[in-house]
Structure 1
Amino acid sequence: MEGIIDKGYAERVPQEELEGNPGKKWYLPHHGVYHPQKQKIRVVFDCGAEYKGTSLNRELMQGPDLTSSLVGVLIRFREEQIALMSDIEAMFSQVGVSQENRDFQRFLWWPNGSVEEPPVEYRMTVHIFGATSSPSCANFALKKSSDNTSDLSVKNTISRNFYVDDMLKPASTVTEGKTLAEGLIDTCKKSGFKLTKWISNTRPVLEAIPEEQRATEVKNLDLEQDDLPTEHALGMQWNVESDVFEFRNRTKEKPATRRGILGVVSSLYDPLGMAAPALLPPKMLLQQLCKAKLGWDDDIPGKQCKVWEKWLSDLPKLEESFTVPRCIKPEYFGDVDVAQLHHFADASENGYGAVSYLRLIDKVGTFMHSN
């Protein structure tokens, strides 16, 4: 909380403004949420908390959805050999709330965090995580930041390669990667957005980015000798050194019931459908159990239980031996002259599937295909 106040994200309500305007004040409850991986605590304001049948979120308009498609950002991330990834530090907190609306974000806190003193009134000066309107306002401000540059590549990146505060962008050459990173940092900075946690699969590009702005995992690496780490790219496991997507088996042991099977299948994050064939058997099993009208917490019959146990025993193979190249083009592939999409689909009583192949031909006649 001290950090929020020190950075100007919140301010103490002046004595002369404590009364405020009738009907123009709202008080938010708050609590701390600890992130075990990051070993940090975040202050969360409950904008859904109700008083006399209403809440702040009920009174706020959501606004237009300006967030780029997650699948679209991930697919565009695969277009070229060089990859760059970064995120905006405290994105929502960089977008201010107008003075006349700040009293709707009041809260109580003890001066200097001392519970021995009476709590006093503060108010947030910026958009907060959890408010219905915050995503639309923050995304609008980010897209508006592209007005700070005439560089079309930077403009297009801000428009199409951000998913909320995460930026995933490919580049075709080292020079392009360096120029793009520099342009994005400068353009976003002019609107108060600080791009941090930079990482790239190409060492010369990474070396061109100031060390303090690089991801923690690469700050202390010897870029001439050490392997690059595995990072999360919008939730997907990206092995930066080998430049492939991997799957990590983080599933916890669940009971052999419909609820347990659904919990395991749902925990395998696969937004691009790369592991869809491996996930079809348990989904078919769930279909059978549903048709048999088995309860959510009933033990599944012996025959189906054997199928489930066999699939579970094979699940580690997904982590051990299945990878997908991040880039859809082979190394040294030339400028694309022809690009074609070929789609195939089929269905049965148990399931259906679809696959798309990308066929590329470069200007010297080399061709490749990828699905």
Structure 2
Amino acid sequence: MHKDDARFHRFLWKGPSSEPVLYEMTGVVFGDSPSPCQAQYVRNLTGEEYGTEETAFRVKRFFYMDDYSDSHDSEEDAIRIAIGLMNALKEGNFNLTKWSSNSANVLNVVGGVNLTERIIGEEEAKVLGLRWNTKKDTLGFTLKNFSEQNTALRGGAF
């Protein structure tokens, strides 16, 4: 955090037998209201400063918070782009890990998650709330089994 911005991140601390003391944060704190926006801004800026034009575009376009989802026509393209992303973002301490792919070759090069380490199942990865079967290359979702339907209106009932 820039030192001029610290004044906007102040907090009071009072011990059991002391007067309140005013502190200023010197770094961005996870959970602070602007933290998600700041993290995305810095990630995008890192992509621009340390990556190619294509890398910068993909950093801005294919990330949702800390999840990167993309698709490629060939294993070679997937590997080239993944390595470019990892190298550029590593410069800003954004270490991309836990890659998933429907290609064992891609996973071997980029260091993806071993299929046996996955919590969801041997052939599934979770992608933005969807289930991706990496063997069949299909997307799906799971519904809970609802036994009854309750509907209510604010201020009234049916």
Residues 219 and 180 (structure 1), Cα distance of their counterparts in 2 relative to 1, 3 Å cut: farther
How far does residue 172 in structure 1 lie from its aligned partner after superposition? 1.2
CA–CA distance in structure 1, aligned partners of residues 38 and 116 of structure 2? 32
Give the partner amino acid of 2:84. G
CA–CA distance in structure 2, aligned partners of residues 107 and 172 of structure 1? 54
Tell me if structure 1 keeps the 8 A contact 2:36–2:65. yes
How far does residue 139 in structure 1 lie from its aligned partner after superposition? 1.8
CA–CA distance in structure 2, aligned partners of residues 190 and 143 of structure 1? 12
1:218 pairs, out of 92, 97, 115, with 115
Query: Which residue in 1 is equivalent to 2:82?
Result: 181
Q: Does 1:125 align with 2:18?
A: no
How far does residue 107 in structure 1 lie from its aligned partner after superposition? 7.1
Secondary structure class of the residue paired with 1:197: coil
The structure richer in strand per residue is: 1
CA–CA distance in structure 1, aligned partners of residues 40 and 115 of structure 2? 28
How far does residue 98 in structure 1 lie from its aligned partner after superposition? 2.1
Tell me if structure 1 keeps the 8 A contact 2:50–2:91. no
How far does residue 128 in structure 1 lie from its aligned partner after superposition? 2.7
Residues 105 and 245 (structure 1), Cα distance of their counterparts in 2 relative to 1, 3 Å cut: farther
CA–CA distance in structure 1, aligned partners of residues 3 and 146 of structure 2? 48
Q: Does 1:162 align with 2:59?
A: no
CA–CA distance in structure 1, aligned partners of residues 116 and 45 of structure 2? 31
How far does residue 205 in structure 1 lie from its aligned partner after superposition? 0.2
Tell me if structure 1 keeps the 8 A contact 2:6–2:25. yes
Query: Which residue in 1 is equivalent to 2:18?
Result: none
Q: Does 1:247 align with 2:149?
A: no
Where in structure 2 are the equivalents of 1:36-55 lying within 5 Å? Answer: none
How far does residue 251 in structure 1 lie from its aligned partner after superposition? 4.8
Give the number of the structure with larger relative contact order, counting CA–CA contacts within 8 Å between residues 6 or more apart: 1
Tell me if structure 2 keeps the 8 A contact 1:106–1:124. no
CA–CA distance in structure 1, aligned partners of residues 10 and 106 of structure 2? 42
How far does residue 207 in structure 1 lie from its aligned partner after superposition? 0.6
What is the alpha-carbon root mean square deviation over aligned residues? 3.1
Higher Cα Rg, which structure: 1
Tell me if structure 2 keeps the 8 A contact 1:200–1:206. yes
CA–CA distance in structure 2, aligned partners of residues 235 and 159 of structure 1? 20
User: Number of residues paired by the alignment?
Assistant: 146
Secondary structure class of the residue paired with 2:132: strand
Query: Which residue in 1 is equivalent to 2:157?
Result: 295
Secondary structure class of the residue paired with 1:195: coil
Deviations 1:54-82 (A, max 9, x none): xxxxxxxxxxxxxxxxxxxxxxxxxxxxx
1:191 pairs, out of 68, 92, 116, with 92
Tell me if structure 2 keeps the 8 A contact 1:228–1:240. no
How far does residue 183 in structure 1 lie from its aligned partner after superposition? 0.7
% identity of equivalent residues? 20
Residues 251 and 126 (structure 1), Cα distance of their counterparts in 2 relative to 1, 3 Å cut: farther
CA–CA distance in structure 2, aligned partners of residues 256 and 169 of structure 1? 37
Secondary structure class of the residue paired with 1:147: helix
Give the partner amino acid of 2:30. I
Query: Which residue in 1 is equivalent to 2:2?
Result: 98
Residues 152 and 251 (structure 1), Cα distance of their counterparts in 2 relative to 1, 3 Å cut: farther
CA–CA distance in structure 1, aligned partners of residues 87 and 40 of structure 2? 18
Secondary structure class of the residue paired with 1:157: helix
CA–CA distance in structure 2, aligned partners of residues 130 and 147 of structure 1? 25
Secondary structure class of the residue paired with 1:126: coil
Give the partner amino acid of 1:257. N
Give the unaligned 5+ runs of structure 2.
16-20
CA–CA distance in structure 2, aligned partners of residues 134 and 208 of structure 1? 32
Tell me if structure 1 keeps the 8 A contact 2:123–2:133. yes
Residues 181 and 105 (structure 1), Cα distance of their counterparts in 2 relative to 1, 3 Å cut: farther
Q: TM-score, normalised by structure 2?
A: 0.74
How far does residue 105 in structure 1 lie from its aligned partner after superposition? 4.8
Query: Which residue in 1 is equivalent to 2:150?
Result: 257
Secondary structure class of the residue paired with 1:175: helix
Q: TM-score, normalised by structure 1?
A: 0.34
Query: Which residue in 1 is equivalent to 2:124?
Result: 230
